[in-house]
Amino acid sequence: MRRRSILLAPLLLALGGALLLASGCGSMPKGEVRSRLLELSKNAPVAERGLTTLPLRADLGDGERDYELVHLRVPAREPVAGARPLLLIHGTPSTLCNWAPVIFGDGEHPGLAAHRDVHAIELLGHGFAPGSHEPYSFQQLAAFTVAATRALGLEGVHLVGHSYGGEVAWRAALDAPELYATLTLSNSAGYARADDEWLPEEEVMRDNWLADIGWRLNARDRILSALEPHFVEVPPDTAEEFFLVCENADNWRAMIDLVRDENGARQDELGRLAMPVLLLWGERDIAYTLERVAARFAADIPEATLRTVAAGHYPHEERPADYVRELSAFLDDADAAWEPQEPR
């Protein structure tokens, strides 16, 4: 069974030169993306808590440059001694706001910030973070994550990455293992795909220059059709969040760049991950399947534990209570056994 794209590839089905030339739509500015994302009901706790923007000087592979780090910190409501902080890395095209359901919880589940400090960052060029580094790549974003971790003083933090954010996270953990107590990969990218595993729409993203300006055809119905295979029922705010992110040309470009960079370049290094690793997978994922991808991570990573949630590609949004329960159990066990690593 051929998988459906997780990367909003259906948006390109209608892509054509005449339509693009006729389109008068402009890219939504980052400031408007931010304000409209924070107006969504699901993101009300993020808006209430507030975001910080910090200057960050880092070398992402082409010399030191100045960046801006957009950061959310949620202190533990009832801190527990020994509970190490948590750092969340979102996927593509996405935003740190997609973690809101698992960070804050609701009346039925406490959320990850119940007993430990939780941090989330906006990846460079994504969501409402400034876009200042093209072309985007997994390695650049991994270097950005390492620099952000150091800037926030989070040595010994638990690191979690979802989807493309998973590959960013495991590369960061390989490059600076002393910073991270554990690594959790949720429905993560990381392996090269065979030619017949790319859908035609994804091939357009990888090979056709028109894909670079596909954001001009962004539409709510196309976003919804792209998300529907991954949920039993797509939450309206989730669909609107993806739509708003894809209204910005730089966010779209970051997605296209990462699709083109997905090539398994460092997959042979996964065996070097020495910290405890949780593979927290939506068992109905049709993008990075449990049988093909999660099982391969489990075989390649020495300290890996595989747990599943009855969800598709977005378990943290589809089944947040189950996600929090599984992740919290892993983190609690890891906290009891954690010992700092020597810097490399």
pLDDT band at 107 (very low <50, low <70, confident <90, very high): confident
Q: Cα separation of 183 and 276, whole Å? A: 6
DSSP 34: H
Examine the pLDDT at 154 and tell me if it is beyond 80. yes
Region 230-256 average pLDDT: 94
Residue ranges of the domains in the chain? 29-52+93-337
Mean pLDDT for all residues in the chain = 89
Query: 259 or 17: whose pLDDT is higher?
Result: 259
pTM for the model: 0.92
Is there a contact between 210 and 15 (Cβ–Cβ < 8 Å)?
A: yes
Burial (CB count <10 Å: 0-12, 13-18, 19+), residue 228: middle
Q: State the architecture of 29-52+93-337 in CATH terms.
A: 3-Layer(aba) Sandwich (3.40)
**Torsion angles phi and psi, residue 89, rounded to 5:** -120, 115
Q: How do residues 46-58 score in pLDDT, each as one tens digit?
A: 999 999 999 999 9
Is there a contact between 331 and 86 (Cβ–Cβ < 8 Å)?
A: yes
Q: How do residues 275-290 score in pLDDT, each as one tens digit?
A: 999 999 999 998 899 9
Amino acid, single-letter form, for residue 256: I
Region 195-201 average pLDDT: 66
Examine the pLDDT at 142 and tell me if it is beyond 90. yes
Q: Cα separation of 148 and 67, whole Å? A: 10
